[in-house]
Structure 1
């Protein structure tokens, strides 16, 4: 009996050794990055960037918001990075994916559980051929039952099913990192856009207040001329209507300013109105940064959506291997040790021992094409991910080219509108002097006032558009996420305090 048991154990050990020697037979395709041919430069670039310009641009794009030279914007960005809730949520998803990766890795290790059973059982005696159990004769259908033991199972990853699953989960974890970077970029872009829009709206409010003063001066002049017998009531009514119109146009600007401050507070992770008093203090628009020197490779290296699409392609490639592995034999080693008896002292006797140590293998034979269909589906998904990656690259280059084109076109547009605003203000001043001298009618004054207001507002919007062009270009280049660490915030629950075994055993 002892010799037979030893022989069986040796045979099982040899089988296990043979299987372990073959554990490098990972099936399925190995991931190969999809190489796209990039252009030598952007068509909308000012010139071919030198190595020094590229190095300087890379440094500037790490904290591109600093290139606007606005201390308030820098302070807001710092608060948003530490307080924005969307960014913190994205960070928690990274931690969750890391835990899921560890869960996938656990399939490599033996799964072991302890168990115990204690109680009484009664069996029916109204069944034909009632079996006679040791220690439980037919006239005693009830019995006490005590048992303890260990159940274990270990899957031998011979053909790489677990390995490919872990590889796929690795890529999902990488995607969560890129997703957080994308959230960071979107948040920075939104914050900077809201901030420059706030300053532009404040400039429009200043223009409106200046024009209200001009309209009030025109009304005062019209009243004086009427008293002197030069003017008439029609001119007074026109001047009053213009003043009322200018005053009414100011109110929506105030509302927009309040809404922008509220939006900025939410991006900072604080209640709306927290920084309203501070932000409502008038400040001129930030300066427009210099045009950044860029290379096409910067887009590929920095854009989180491109990096995420590439990682998704790698994940789907690994899942092809998971599907292929289902066509191959699966090896599992089950182990159980379960002594049982009716009395406590009997549990540790040789007769109470019950154990099992096997090598189990299963081979798929016929499943109506299920596994083949799963492989075809995984291959199609991987190819779709590769094509999505290519499309993402194309869209990214389009966004960069569009932002560069807008930068150059709006620069000239801004210069022309500035000249128009200056000329309109000059014409308005001259019209008011001529009207005061009685050389022209009040309608000419109204025309020049409205033309000036329109030109000044258009210039303010053009300056805003120039700043947005810069923000859009930096965002299209994928700038700003480097050097921002993930905030590791977790619920106040200690694993070790939940289970004493967790202190000593990896669970």
Structure 2
């Protein structure tokens, strides 16, 4: 009979534990393609030519492999010392990154607070009181004089919550998950910062190259004004051509001023990323030239994004924390067992407190359970379960977004390669056309409108070529960001970076 009762008690305890524990975490299913579709498409010029060639007939080089570069420090694949220095400065001084690092420390401290509940808690107390009690408190008739007394006490107390139904362990798991999510957030902010610095730097260099192109255009327009003015003085042409030449020159100068405004804004944005006042830096002019060799970034397998992308890691840790919070909510439905002990002394003088005759002690256990709460706990359980559903949906959405961003940037690089090959041909043709128009106009064999049209076409083609170079650099950085910052393995040293921030 006793054996049957023991089995029943054990079975009941097991059922209670199963009912209140956090559900076993299961990784949600997500649709992962076998390969990136855009990574399978060769860059081919419309019309069937599979090899991209430059305007002079040589093979057009898209970039160079960079698999030998250190993992994590992906920006070094560009072999640009200035870019390396800027990213190092931003990592050390950016305030948004400092905020993220501080939040990591907060989350780790909160996890430490939750961990502390696993251990016994002990404290010491010393008190001194001047007391006058009522006669009724000491079982005397009303009106009996009770003398005023001094009461001194010293007490050492300890308590421990027995984790019967997993409340403490679930709280610890949830806090750890939230700390992990905050660490992943730090890595996400770090990756975004690095990418923003690189993209802003390349945009600024692209603007420098556009300004250089416009300066060349201004020089051509100034030469045209000089030639047109000379011919007008000789009576070969009317004033209309001279006015047109001056108008074209003023327009080119105005465009250059507009680019200078954009360049200043990019410089100020870079200063903010570096954690500096906008007026504190003056980036030297460094046009983005044709010699820039961009790294070829292999896309790898789509499934690798689940380990590389910090935003997916944030969603993953969020799911784990939400799952553990269900256990915390369920545990509130069941009794909480706390064991307590206290020992000390009480006396009418401080010396009496430490006498053996003044000793007092207490040892006990308290079991507290809710009876009526108006459905508060069940509602909290329902809230926790819904929060898990939200976290799962957010995880799946982050995975879909990651795949789309990689495909977008792979497609952009493929199309930019095609555009670059064609714009090289356009620049070569426009340059030849402008040279011929200039020669014919000087000889008086063509109108100024023909020369102006040829120069406009050349300026537009050269600016398009420069803009495409900048777009390719910016898009390469965007692809690296979409891949999670590296293309061989997860970011190496991520936790070390966060640890370093902790010591700041």
- Equivalence for 1:251: 257
CA displacement, residues 440-465 of structure 1 (integer Å, 9 cap, x when unaligned): 21122222222222222122222222
Kept in 1: contact 2:206–2:288 (CA 8 A):
no
Partner of residue 391 from structure 1, selected from 381, 385, 397:
397
| Residue 168 of structure 1: aligned partner | 174
- Structure 1 residue 133 displacement after superposition: 6.5
Change (3 A) 1:296 1:120: same
Q: Give the 5 Å matches for 1:348-497.
A: 348-349=354-355, 352-480=358-486, 481-484=491-494, 485-486=497-498, 488=500
Alpha-carbon contact 2:347-2:358 (below 8 Å) kept: yes
- Among 30, 39, 46, the residue aligned to 1:36: 30
4+ residue segments displaced more than 6 Å: 21-26
CA separation of 1:207 and 1:47: change in aligned 2, threshold 3 A: closer
Q: How far, CA to CA, are the matches of 2:472 and 2:286 in structure 1?
A: 22
Residue deviations 1:456-505 (CA, integer Å, cap 9, x gap): 2122222222222211111111114433512545699xxxxxxxxxxxxx
Q: Distance in 2 between matches of 1:170 and 1:87?
A: 21
**Structure-2 change in CA distance of 1:123 and 1:149 (3 Å):** same
Correspondence for 1:268:
274
Larger mean CA deviation between 437-446 and 315-324 belongs to: 437-446
Gap change, CA 1:131 and 1:60, over 3 Å in 2: closer
More displaced, 264-273 or 252-261? 264-273
The 3-state SS of whatever aligns with 2:498 is coil
The 1:427–1:162 alpha-carbon spacing in structure 2 relative to 1, beyond 3 Å, is same
Q: TM-score, normalised by structure 2?
A: 0.84
For residues 341-389 of structure 1, the C-alpha deviation after alignment (integer angstroms, 9 at most, x for no partner) is 3233433445533322101112333323222222122112112211221
Note if 1:122 corresponds to 2:124. Answer: no
Q: Does 1:75 align with 2:81?
A: no
Distance 1:258 1:482 in 2: 35
The answer to whether residue 289 in structure 2 is matched with residue 284 in structure 1 is yes
Number of matched pairs: 461
Change in Cα spacing, 1:473 to 1:60, as seen in structure 2 (3 Å) is farther
**Please, which runs of 5 or more residues in structure 1 have no aligned partner?**
1-17, 49-54, 493-507
The equivalent residue for 1:297 is 303
Query: In the alignment, which residue of structure 2 is the partner of 1:85?
Result: 95
Out of 32, 40, 46, which is 1:46 matched to?
A: 40
Aligned to 1:101: 111
Tell me if the contact between 1:149 and 1:337 (Cα under 8 Å) persists in the aligned partners.
yes
Q: Please name the residue that 1:4 is paired with.
A: none
Alpha carbons of 1:284 and 1:137: their partners in 2 closer, same or farther (altered >3 Å)?
Answer: farther
How many Å apart are 1:122 and its aligned residue? 3.3
1:178 to 180, 184, 195: 184
Asked if 2 retains the 8 angstrom alpha-carbon contact of 1:257 and 1:280, the reply is no
Unaligned runs of 5+ in 2: 1-9, 43-64
Residue pair 1:132, 1:138 contacting (<8 A) in 2 also: no
User: How many angstroms apart in 2 are the aligned matches of 1:489 and 1:39?
Assistant: 37
Give how far 1:123 is off.
4.5
Residues 473 and 132 (structure 1 numbering): CA distance in 2 closer, same or farther, change over 3 Å? closer
SS of 1:381's equivalent? helix
Q: Spell out, residue by residue over 1:92-147, the C-alpha distance to the aligned partner (whole angstroms, 9 max, x if none).
A: 222221111111111112222211121323356xxxx734469x993244222211
Give secondary structure in 2 for the equivalent of 1:90.
Answer: helix
Distance in 1 (CA, whole Å) between partners of 2:286 and 2:294 is 21
Per-residue CA deviation, residues 8-42 of structure 1 (Å, 9 max, x unaligned), is xxxxxxxxxx9xx9999882212232243422111
Q: Distance in 1 between matches of 2:430 and 2:122?
A: 84
